[in-house]
Amino acid sequence: MKRIIQFINVLIALALLAAGGVLYWYGYRLLPETSGTLPLGISAPGRIARDQLGVPHIRAASIEEAAYLQGYAMAQDRLWQMDMARRQASGQVAEVIGRAAFESDLEARRWRLRHVAEAQAKVLAGPEYAVLAAYAQGINAFIAAHRDSLPVEFTLLGYDPRPWTIVDTLAIGMQMAKTLTATDEAEIRKFEMLAVGEPAKVEALFPVRTGSEAQLGSNAWVVGGKWTKSGKPLLASDPHLPFGFPSTWYQVHLEAPGLNVAGVTLPGVPMVIIGHNERIAWGVTNLHFDVMDYYVERMNLGTGQYEFAGKVEQAILEREAIAVKGEKPRVLSHWITRHGPVRVGAVSNQPGGTNQALALRWTHADASNFSFIFADLNRAQNWTDFRAVLARYSGAAQNFVYADVDGHIGYQATGRFPIRKRAKGDVPSDGRGDQEWEGMVPFADLPSSFDPPSGMLVTANQNPFPAQYAYPVGGKFSAPYRQRQIEAMLRAGQQWTPEKMLVVQKDVHSGFSHFLAKQVLDAYQARGLKNPKLAGAATVLRNWNGQMEKGTPAPLLVTLIFQQLRRTVADRAAPGQGASYDNEIAAAVVEKLLRERPADWFGDYPQVLLRAFSEAVELGERTQGPDVSKWDYGTYMMFTQMHPVLGRLPLANSFPFSMVADGFRVGPVPMSGSTTTVKQTTLRITPSMRFVADLSNWDASLNNITVGQSGQPMSAHFRDQWKAYYVGESFPLGFKQPQIKNTLQIIPAP
C-alpha cells in the first residue's frame, strides 16, 4: 500500500513538473524584455519604461520614433490581439481559425473594409504617413526578433504573423467605424416589418429625431472650476463597447520633442485616442448620426446593369477568394454600384431577369478626404488648435468634450454627415436620385459649445442637433436617460474630485425602468388588486428606488415586464414580428406610447400593462421561483468572459491545467446596470475603460481598463486590473511622476 501511495505521489509530481515545463516554455519564456538595453532602428537613444501596471512610458527623439517604440511595446504586449484585429477587419480570420469564422470574414469582405483602407493609405498626408509607417516598423522589429518566441496563441493556432503595414492599422480603424455606425441590421428589420405591418406604426418603432437607446453607448462630460474642489476642470470619459479579453484599449504615455501625451488607444493604432497632454484633455462618445443608406437598385444580377436616374449603368463585379483553414478557398462575387456594394441579394424577382437589390452607401467608404489626425490632436494646445484638428476628422462621427489648464471647457461634434434632399430616416430610398447626397454638413455648422454658463457639458449619445437645424437630421441617438442622470448627479454635488467622478461613472439608476415600474403599479392599483398572484410582485416594485443592482429582485422583474411589453408593441405594428424587434430603440418607443397613449395603438393601456406584468411574473418564476422578493437580478446578469483561445483549450478544465485556466477567464460574476443606466451594461456591452482627467494635477488623473495591459497569459499584468474595474475603482494615470518599475533602454542599432 505504501508503495502504491509513493507511486501515485511520483505521478502527481511528474504531472506537476510537466505542467510547469509547459507553462515555462509556452508562457514565461515568451514574456517580453522590460529592462536592460536593446538596439533598435532609431536614430537616437530612447526608452520604454513600465509602471506598476505594466503601462509603457515611452521617450524618443522624435514623434516618428515615439510611434516606432509604441509599435514595438504594443507588439510586446498585444501582438496576437493586434493580428486578429487586422484579420477581422480584412476578412482573414477563417484562414487561421477555420470554417467557424467564415461568416465573419464574408461580412468584412462585403463591407470592403480593407479595400477602403488601401484607398485611405494612398491619400495620407506626408507627416501622417510617416507616423503610421514608423509605428508599423516598430511592430515589425518585434516580429522579426521574436520568430522563435511569439505569443502562445500563434503556436496553438499554428501560424506566424505576417509583417505589419499601414493598411493594417487603417483597416482596424475601418472596423471600429463599422462597429460604431452600422445601422444595416435595423434598416433591414424595418424593411421587413414594413412589408407586413402598418407603415405609420412601424415608422414609430424606429424614431428618427426623438431618440433611441443606442446600440453602443458612451458617456463623456466635463465640469468647470466652479464645480470642483481644485477650481480647475475635471473631464470624464467611459466608452461602452463589447467586452474584450484582452482589453479593448491599450494604455500608453508618449514623450518626444513637441509631444507629451498619455491615455489610451486601440491595439494596432498609434498615438493616443482619448487622454491628455500638458495643456488639454479630451474624451469622446459616439454620435449616432445616420451615415448609411440603402438604395433599391433595379438591377440584372446576371449582367450587373441597373437603372439610375432613368439611365442604364454598369455595376462593377468584384471577385475575391476567402481562405478557410483545412478547406478549399471560397470565392465571393458581388456587384458594386455607384452607391456601394450590393449588400442583400435579390429583394424580389422581376420579369426579364431584373431584380430589386439593396446597395449600401456609407460615408466611410469614401476615402478621398481621409486624414489620420491623432498625432496632431495629441499636440493641440488650446481650443482653437483642438477644433482645427477636428475639422479634418473623418472617422466615425463623435462627440468630443474638452478641457484645458486655463479653466476652459468645450464640446464639439465632428465627423462627416451627409446632406440629404429631404429627411429620410432609415427607409431605403428608391434609387432614382431623389435622395442622393448633396455633400457633407460643413464643420462650421456642426454643434459646438465653449465655456457655457452652466459650467458643465454632458454627452451620452443623445441628439445634439437643435430642433430647427439647417440640415435634415436622422440617427440612432440615445434617449436622454443617461444624460439626465449624469447632469442631475453633477448638479447635486459640489467640490468634485476625480474619485467622486467614479461614483457617477458606475451609477446604475434607470430613469426609464423606474418610470415603467410606476406605470405598472398605477395599472395594478386601477385594475389588478383582485389578483393575489401579483400582490407580492407589486410590493417589490413599490419599494424599489430605480437602482438596477445585482442581488435585488425589482430590476429583474421590470426587465421582464419591458421585454413582454416591447414584443406586444411590435406585434401591434407588424403582426408576427414582435420577437424580432429587440432593438435598443424600444425603450424610448415604449415610454413615448405610455406617456401619450394614442388610441389607435391600444384601447386599454392598463390592461396591456397588466398582461405584461403577469407574463413577466410567470416567466421569472420558471427560473427564480414563486417568491418574487427572493429573485436576484445578478443571477440574470451573470457575466463570464474567456480568452478567445486559452479559455477554450481541451485541457482547460483538467487538473492541474484547470488552476491555470482560471486565469484565462473572468467570471462568472453578477453585474449591475442596464442599457439605460450611466454604467451601461448588458451581457455583451460594458464600460470598456474609465478615464478622469484632473486639470489641476495631471498625476491625480485616473484610468483603468477592463482586464489588464498585457495580452501575454503569464504576465503579471494579464488581468491585474479586473478586480478594480469590477468594483468601480481606478488607478493613477502616471504623467509627470509615474511609478516606474522597469526600464528598457533603447539604443540605435549598429
∠ CA 555-560-562 to the nearest 5 degrees? 95
CB contact at 8 A, 630 and 624: yes
Residue 461: per-residue pLDDT? 87
Residue 187: per-residue pLDDT? 74
Q: Say if residue 270's pLDDT is above 70.
A: yes
Chain centroid to CA 90: how far?
A: 18
Residue 451: per-residue pLDDT? 98
Per-residue cell: 240:
461602452
pLDDT tens by residue, 308-365: 888 999 999 999 999 999 999 999 998 999 999 987 554 555 555 567 788 889 999 9
121: helix, strand or coil: helix
CATH architecture for residues 511-636 = Orthogonal Bundle (1.10)
434: helix, strand or coil: coil
Q: Which residue has the higher pLDDT, 551 or 648?
A: 551
pTM of the full structure = 0.91
DSSP string, 634-682: HHHTEEEEE-TTGGG-TTTTSTTHHHHHGGGEEEEEE---BTTSSSB--
User: Which residues have CB under 8 Å from 89's CB, separation 6+?
Assistant: 108, 113, 114, 117, 171, 172, 174, 175
Residue 663: per-residue pLDDT? 67
Residue 424: per-residue pLDDT? 40
Range of lowest pLDDT (65-74, 146-155, 253-262, 646-655): 646-655
Residue 737: per-residue pLDDT? 92
Q: What is the mean pLDDT of the chain?
A: 89
Range of lowest pLDDT (352-356, 466-470, 692-696, 742-746): 352-356
CB contact at 8 A, 692 and 232: no
Q: What percent of the chain has pLDDT over 70?
A: 89
Mean pLDDT on 26-41: 83
Residue 206: per-residue pLDDT? 81
* Greatest C-alpha distance within the chain: 94
Q: Say if residue 733's pLDDT is above 90.
A: yes
Q: Say if residue 659's pLDDT is above 60.
A: no
Band (221; pLDDT cuts 50, 70, 90): very high
Q: Say if residue 723's pLDDT is above 90.
A: yes
Q: Say if residue 210's pLDDT is above 60.
A: no
DSSP string, 526-593: IIITT-GGGHHHHHHHHT--SB--TT-SHHHHHHHHHHHHHHHHHHHHSTT-GGG---TTHHHHHHHH
* Closest by CA position to 214, among listed 164, 179, 258: 179
Q: Say if residue 425's pLDDT is above 50.
A: no
Per-residue cell: 547:
437602482
Q: What percent of the chain has pLDDT over 90?
A: 71
Per-residue cell: 511:
430613469
Band (428; pLDDT cuts 50, 70, 90): very low
Chain centroid to CA 667: how far?
A: 20
Per-residue cell: 261:
501625451
Q: Are strands 36-40 and 218-223 parallel, antiparallel or unpaired?
A: unpaired
Band (183; pLDDT cuts 50, 70, 90): confident
Q: In angstroms, rounded to a whole number, what is the distance separating the alpha carbons of residues 421 and 107?
A: 30
∠ CA 300-301-302 to the nearest 5 degrees? 90
Residue 656: per-residue pLDDT? 45
Band (467; pLDDT cuts 50, 70, 90): confident
Other C-beta atoms lying within 10 Å of the C-beta of residue 519: 21
- Secondary structure of 326-350 in HEC code, one letter for each residue: CCCCEEEEEEECCCCEEEEEEEEEC
pLDDT tens by residue, 482-496: 999 999 999 998 899
Q: Say if residue 143's pLDDT is above 60.
A: yes
For the chain, the distance separating the N- and C-terminal CA atoms, rounded to the nearest angstrom, is 66
pLDDT tens by residue, 490-549: 999 889 999 999 999 999 999 999 999 999 999 999 987 778 889 999 999 999 999 999
Instruction: Write the DSSP symbol of residue 289.
Output: B
Residue 10: per-residue pLDDT? 52
Q: Are strands 259-265 and 274-276 parallel, antiparallel or unpaired?
A: antiparallel
**Rounded (10°) CA dihedral 87, 89, 95, 99:** 130
Band (252; pLDDT cuts 50, 70, 90): very high
Residue 533: per-residue pLDDT? 86
Instruction: Write the DSSP symbol of residue 216.
Output: S
Band (302; pLDDT cuts 50, 70, 90): confident
Band (666; pLDDT cuts 50, 70, 90): confident
Residue 218: per-residue pLDDT? 87
Q: Say if residue 426's pLDDT is above 50.
A: no
Per-residue cell: 212:
433611441
Going from N- to C-terminal start, the domains of the chain cover 511-636
Q: Say if residue 38's pLDDT is above 90.
A: yes
Q: 342 pairs with which residues across the strands?
A: 359
ω before 668 within 30° of 0 (cis)? yes
